[in-house]
Structure 1
Amino acid sequence: MALVGKRDGRNFGWGRQLSYAGPQALRDIYGGGHYSTVKTHSDRWQAFVRWCRSEDGPGVNDARQIDRQTLADYALHLRNLVEVGELAVATAQNCLSSVNRTMAALRGDQHVKLPSPSKALGMQRTIVRTTAPQGQDRQQVKCIAGILREIHPRAAAILLLARATGMRLREAVLADLIRLNREANQLGRINIQEGTKGGRRGATASRWIEVDEHILEALRYAKQVTPYGSRNLIASTETYISFQRDTIRPSRQLLKLHNLKGFHELRAAYACERYEKITGHLAPVFGVICGRPHRNIDRRARLQLSYELGHGRIDVASAYIGSVV
């Protein structure tokens, strides 16, 4: 992407509107690629812009007027949202990190940033799961899926895919079901690629999962409810956003009515089940005092889970299965 104006002009030359300039600068710094990362940072930047224009914000529309105090005030705003339960600590930290990244892209330097989002918020995010995940009981999940089939059959497919494979919601929605069914039948394993987080896809970011009867069943059903002419669960007349609005949101309410927090909870259920299969022991989150696996076996299991869930760090596994004290 090229500069819209002069480098020393409004929004450092990226456009007259703060909301437009941020995404433009991000696309440039990522070389026109990394679409998912750019989209994520841009969405969080728009939230910052809305705050800037609100009564509580500084009322600026030019990145040249944003200084460290502006960012500190925004951190205080996010902290207040966390304290009243409207925002998670992790989400608030991510918002500040994205603002830091976007400001650096706009300015071309690191002079205006919050060095530590966690310190700015005065809060630490919790990444270790301490409660057993819902959705462990496959029969319960099948019952919920049966109810969903009558109202939102594609949401039922997402539910089954998430529990069987540990897919994220977006991954299940955008998965190439024709390819996955072919891989499952011919290779006995599937490679999760579409909808992955942070642009992790392709030959250099393979994510193969061994197939079992639960995965085969979930894939068969998902293929049955795939809209005509589509390779995934979104019809040609829909967008991802409209699908979320019309299908995912109403389905979430039904999940909660049946004691399931949401689709993401099933990733943790999958992880705990896989941990037990790999180690022969229950996941630490279940609070088992005796019979723990050797630390080398535990580490090997966490590495495998990190790979299967599409993360690049072993420590992330603790958010799904808990930590050994």
Structure 2
Amino acid sequence: MTDEKQTRLHRGNHSKSIRNFGIGSRNLLRAGKICSQQSEKSFSTRGTLADRWTVFAKWLGAEYRIGKMENITPDHLIAYGRHLNSRIEQGELKPSTAQLYVSAVNSVLITATAGNWKTVSPTKDCGIPKRKYLPESSKALPQSQHDQVIAELAEQTEEPLDQRVIVLLNLQRTLGLRFKESALLDARQALLQAGKTGTVSILTGTKGGKRRDVPVSSEAKLALKQAANIQDGRSMIPTDMSYVKFREACYAKAQQLQFNFHAQRHHYAQQRYHELTGAPAPINTGIPRKDWLNYLASFLNVGSATAEAIDHKARLQLSTELGHNRLEVVSVYIG
């Protein structure tokens, strides 16, 4: 950016207000978009910068209630990067995309501060992988830890929330549901469907509103019965709470007892791979990815081509049941 452009940008409506470095808008979203449009990058890139700034600004407002640029620090962007990294670990985001989101915020703030912003590294500061993310160890909640969490929650059943959290954990573990999907599930309706078809249709709360059908095991049926027994509305959310308040309360409980809801989905995926193939999930064997098919062939006592077909078919099935429809995402769960 030329000195003339930079001066003009920071002059803005400075006489009216110095909020957001006097860029010309008191609104954080708008100020960032102004910076994006003043960039010397291509027109399409400027639009992309603005879009990515919007995502960051909304997250910042929700997490820290920050509404002006002067209050943003590198620590806030690092926290945002780590939030994006957690989405990578859940298979929701590619590392390359997360890196671009952090870089976009850096770019906007460098412009806004006339070069006085301390750049945050997506990889070194935020821990975002440089390449496609593949976990080195299982992210599933072990059975012993699951049982311990359930027992601790059961001791506090005088609090209605604890019983709800127990139910959510069991639904997520036996049906592979995301937190939002389990919270918005109509367990009574799902139980009726399971009795008729042996499957449950998941639609409410899914990514992109995409419906998927999930097989119902005996354990899942029991979880649905428990959920239906305490359901007092059309979902697992208490009738006197909003989804946002319910989610906040549940995540506070998870932090208190030191567990991760999404770990239940990892357990589901690994358990289903075992059911579909007759072999443990790769992530639980310590076998390197490049050697997996040879190991599987030996484990199942079949030829290499047969082992590859079995593995591929199981991954396809899992991608459907998890609602991702991308094989590379399945690897995040099972290795």
SS at match of 1:236: coil
Aligned to 2:311: 298
User: Unaligned stretches of 5+ in structure 2?
Assistant: 1-11, 14-24, 34-53, 88-94, 108-121, 288-293, 298-306
Q: How does 1:85-164 map to 2 (within 5 A)?
A: 89=85, 94=98, 97=101, 123-124=128-129, 127-137=133-143, 141-149=146-154, 150=157, 151=159, 152-164=162-174
Letter in 1 for 2:276: I
Q: What is the CA distance between 1:130 and its match in structure 2?
A: 1.4
CA deviations over 1:3-25 (Å, ceiling 9, x no partner):
xxxxxx99xxxx962348999xx
2:171–2:177 contact (8 Å) kept in structure 1: yes
Q: Whole-Å Cα distance in 2 between the matches of residues 49 and 157 of structure 1?
A: 32
Aligned to 1:221: 226
Q: What is the CA distance between 1:219 and its match in structure 2?
A: 0.5
Q: What is the CA distance between 1:245 and its match in structure 2?
A: 3.0
Aligned to 1:211: 216
Aligned to 1:269: 267
CA deviations over 1:170-229 (Å, ceiling 9, x no partner):
1111112222112111111001111112xx32xxx3311111111101101111122x3x
Aligned to 1:287: 285
Aligned to 2:248: 245
Q: Whole-Å Cα distance in 2 between the matches of residues 298 and 248 of structure 1?
A: 35
TM-score by length of 2: 0.62
How many residues align structurally?
A: 254
2:212–2:320 contact (8 Å) kept in structure 1: yes
Aligned to 1:184: 194
Aligned to 1:50: 66
RMSD of aligned Cα (Å): 4.2
Change (3 A) 1:277 1:42: farther
SS at match of 2:266: helix
CA deviations over 1:98-141 (Å, ceiling 9, x no partner):
9969x9xxxxxxxxxxxxx879989535621211234342x653
Change (3 A) 1:49 1:231: closer
Q: Whole-Å Cα distance in 1 between the matches of residues 245 and 164 of structure 2?
A: 14
Of all paired residues, the percent bearing the same amino acid is 28
CA deviations over 1:56-113 (Å, ceiling 9, x no partner):
56xxxxxxxxxxxxxxxx7x9735876xxx6564669548539969x9xxxxxxxxxx
1:314 matched to 2:327: yes
Q: Whole-Å Cα distance in 2 between the matches of residues 210 and 122 of structure 1?
A: 36
Letter in 2 for 1:128: L
Q: Whole-Å Cα distance in 2 between the matches of residues 189 and 40 of structure 1?
A: 36
SS at match of 1:281: coil
Aligned to 2:22: none
Change (3 A) 1:314 1:240: same
Q: Whole-Å Cα distance in 1 between the matches of residues 31 and 229 of structure 2?
A: 43
TM-score by length of 1: 0.63
Change (3 A) 1:135 1:80: closer
User: Unaligned stretches of 5+ in structure 1?
Assistant: 1-8, 24-38, 58-73, 104-116
Q: Whole-Å Cα distance in 2 between the matches of residues 319 and 44 of structure 1?
A: 25
